[in-house]
Amino acid sequence: MRILVINSGSSSIKFRLSEAVEENGALATRPALIEGAVKGIRGLVSFEVTGQQLGVSTDKIQAQDHIQAMRVLMDRLGDSLDSVEAVGHRVVHGGDRYVESTLITEQVEAGIDELSELAPLHNPACLAGIRGAKAVMGATVPMVAVFDTAFHRTMPEVARHYAIPTELADRHRIRRYGFHGIAHASLANGYAACTGRSLREARIITIQLGNGCSIAAIAEGRSIDTSMGFTPLEGLVMGTRSGDVDASLVSLLAEREKVEPAEVERWLNERSGLLGLSGRSNDMRELLRVAEQQRDERAELAIELFCYRARKYIGSYLAVLGGADAIVFGGGIGENAPDVRKRICRNMAWCGISLNADRNQAAVGLRPGSAAKISPDGSMPAVYVVAADEETWITKETAHCVQAIG
């Protein structure tokens, strides 16, 4: 089955066209026929595409919104789209309603729209991607929504609730939904593929460190807890997000800085994290560079706090799982920054976590879908780096969903 995956972010659309095939009774995916991204929507956008018969091409185009960008994308893909049998869309928030990948009908579209209230930065972009694809491809090609929250539907009640009045939580649908589910599922599956172990027998902690960062405790292939909660603001220190803070900061800062609470929330989302601490950048590469070369103390503190928070969560998830078989790093930082992995795992020999320095240093720039062990043989929990392949996960989910409806 030929499947086009659309991954719409606030200012970009990533895409991949590939084939899902049955192999030995399981679904497998063939290498991408075409993949790429449209970046910088709302102005002069760059369009990058790589294809088996195309080589690599990059150019600049004008697109004011996702629908225009989708039109350009579909235009450029041209004839390759004729054979598309289904489209899989990544959708950030499925709330309590969509707990598995779902065929998109008008009703589902309206449901995703309604959930924009819970994910105002993310769901509207996903929806624009869906509407853009429909406008161009017509309504006959089945489209599937693959939700980022769905993987965490298995979290037990104790992990899903905040200790606030139940009536308030129920009235406003306040739950710990968790996000980055597609990434955590891909990391867990990457670990299983690399070790040949079944996820049913494993307890693992997956750590997704990119611009957004989150960590998940996974037992028997099911998410037991995760660091992001009602919104993607909770948990680890991120590029521009604070992660965990005392909730009373919001009213204090609103009052003292004479702004609305919503403005403080924006600061916590957009001006905090690595950027806020360092006063310089949300880019880990840049911070590692200035911390080393210029002995920049704020950059150093930002990196240390980032790693300290991750270590603290690993400790708590070891307690939640009763120990772990493996720790799995992924995301732009997790895949490419040995120094950050080393700092996070520092002084954890008490629980068996240690790194092999050479393996850690060598595990950078892995091919999507591949994995590398970075702990010494025989140590437990073992530590792995996995280059998550979200598009493959979305392709398989889409194929399963379309097959299920016959």
Can residue 243 be called a binding residue for ligand ADP (CB under 6 A)?
A: no
CA gap 62, 351 in Å, rounded: 53
**Footprint on residues 372-401 left by ligand ADP (CB under 6 A):** none
CB of 335 to ligand ADP, least distance (A): 7
Stretch that binds ligand ADP, among 24-32, 98-106, 160-168, 282-290 (CB under 6 A): 282-290
Find the shortest distance in angstroms from Cβ 200 to ligand ADP.
28
SS (H, E, C) 189-217: HHHHHHHCCCHHHCEEEEEEECCCEEEEE
Q: Which residues pair with 121 in a beta bridge?
A: none
Q: Which of 284, 302, 371, 385 binds ligand ADP (CB under 6 A)?
A: 284
**23 and 140 in contact (C-beta within 8 Å)?**
no
Q: Report if residue 276 touches ligand ADP, rule: CB under 6 A.
A: no
Q: Using CB under 6 A, which of 29, 102, 149, 336 touches ligand ADP?
A: 336
Q: With the CA atoms of 68, 74, 77 and 83 taken in that order, what torsion angle do they form, in degrees rounded to the nearest 10?
A: 170
Stretch that binds ligand ADP, among 157-165, 307-315, 333-341, 370-378 (CB under 6 A): 333-341
The nearest distance, CB 100 to ligand ADP, in angstroms, is: 24
Catalytic residue among 79, 96, 148, 377: 148
Distance, CA of 234 to CA of 273 (rounded, Å): 11
SS3 state at 97: coil
For ligand ADP, the closer of residues 264 and 388 by Cβ is 388
Torsion (CA) 162, 165, 170, 172 in degrees, nearest 10 = -80
Selected range binding ligand ADP among 94-102, 241-249, 315-323, 327-335, rule: CB under 6 A: 327-335
Q: Is 148 a catalytic residue?
A: yes
The terminus-to-terminus CA distance of the chain in angstroms comes to: 13
Binder to ligand ADP among 132, 229, 239, 381 (CB under 6 A)?
A: 239
Q: Is 181 in the site for ligand ADP (CB under 6 A)?
A: no
In this chain, which stretch among 218-226, 249-257, 312-320, 330-338 interacts with ligand ADP, using CB under 6 A? 330-338
Q: Residue 83 carries which DSSP code?
A: G
Instruction: Considering only residues 203 through 232, tell me which ones interact with ligand ADP, judged by CB under 6 A.
Output: 210-212
Contact between 48 and ligand ADP (CB under 6 A)? no
Kindly tell me which of 183 and 353 has the beta carbon lying closer to ligand ADP: 183
- Dihedral over Cα of 13, 385, 228, 347: its sign: negative
101's tokens: 């990948």
**Rounded to 10 degrees, what is the CA torsion of 52, 54, 55, 59?**
-140
Least distance (Å) from ligand ADP to the CB of residue 125?
13
Residue closest to ligand ADP (Cβ): 332
User: Can you tell me the distance from the alpha carbon of 165 to that of 134, in angstroms, rounded to the nearest whole number?
Assistant: 42
Name the residue nearer to ligand ADP (CB basis): 195 or 281.
Answer: 281
Contact present, 313 and 243 (Cβ < 8 Å): no
Give CA–CA dist 342/72, Å, rounded. Answer: 43
Whether 50 and 56 have beta carbons less than 8 Å apart is answered as yes
State in angstroms the smallest separation of the CB of 183 from ligand ADP: 9
Q: Which of 72, 128, 337, 402 binds ligand ADP (CB under 6 A)?
A: 337
Q: Binding-site residue total for ligand ADP (CB under 6 A)?
A: 13
Task: Between 135 and 364, name the residue whose CB sits nearer to ligand ADP.
Answer: 364
- Buried b / exposed e over 347-378, threshold 16 CB at 10 Å, is ebeeeebbbbeebbeebeebebbebbbbbeee
- For residue 303, give the nearest of 342, 245, 249 by alpha carbon: 342
Stretch that binds ligand ADP, among 30-38, 144-152, 293-301, 328-336 (CB under 6 A): 328-336
Q: For residues 94 and 212, which CB has a smaller minimum distance to ligand ADP in the complex?
A: 212
Among 267, 283, 312, 352, binds ligand ADP (CB under 6 A): 283
Out of 40, 142, 221, 332, the only residue in the binding site for ligand ADP (CB under 6 A) is: 332
Closest C-alpha to 364, from 341, 337, 339, 330:
337
C-beta closer to ligand ADP: residue 102 or 360: 360
**Catalytic residue ranges:** 148
Q: Which residues bind ligand ADP (CB under 6 A)?
A: 210-212, 239, 283-285, 288, 331-333, 336-337
